[in-house]
Amino acid sequence: MESQTIILVNKPKGITSFDVIRQLRRKLGIRKMGHAGTLDPLASGLMIIGVNEGTKKLEEYLKLPKTYEADVLLGIQTTTGDMEGDILAEVPKEEVEKKLSDTDLTTLFKNFIGTHTLAVPKYSAIKVDGKALYTYAREGQEPPRVPEKEMEIRDIELRICGSRSK
């Protein structure tokens, strides 16, 4: 393997980004690895992994624009703010559909285009004092501070999908 290597991995849902690194280290017998950005355990997607001297190139990849796909289920509020949490409140599908048309949703989604500074969700893999925020949340603790991230949305597309699936 070359000394400056970048590996692209499609991380599956259900494991941490560091689990991917751990598996690669074991399979390749290489210790020096890092990744350009963390994917939450509930997310799947592309991980850019630097190996040996390739770790020095990771900063370049962090600055690149990214594309995300998100499933949004309207009418349900959960304990975690995602589709994995326990349901706190639910509005029947017919009521949601009555209140919102596809045009309303498209307009709403288009309003997200632009640059935003957001508090990192408490169920995030971002670390505070060496501990992932989702760990604090699942232990019922508040982190010492809540980091913020700047996010730029250049385009957004609405696709209507089905119901909650675990």
Residue 32 has a CB neighbour count (10 Å cut-off) of 12
The secondary structure of residue 102, as a DSSP letter, is H
User: Is residue 40 annotated as part of the catalytic site, yes or no?
Assistant: yes
What's the token pair of residue 122? 């408490």
Q: Taking Cα atoms as reference points, which of 15, 25, 14, 13 lies closest to residue 49?
A: 25
The residues, any chain, with a CB within 8 Å of residue 33's CB and separated by 6 or more, are 21, 24, 25, 49, 50, 51, 55
Cα separation of 26 and 21, whole Å? Answer: 9
Q: Where are the alpha helices (DSSP H) in the chain?
A: 17-28, 58-62, 93-99, 102-110, 133-138
What's the token pair of residue 128? 């505070």
Q: Within 13 A of 5's CA, how many CA atoms are on the CB side?
A: 12
Which of 40, 82, 102, 104 is flagged as catalytic?
A: 40
What's the token pair of residue 26? 């074991």
Name the residues annotated as catalytic.
Answer: 40
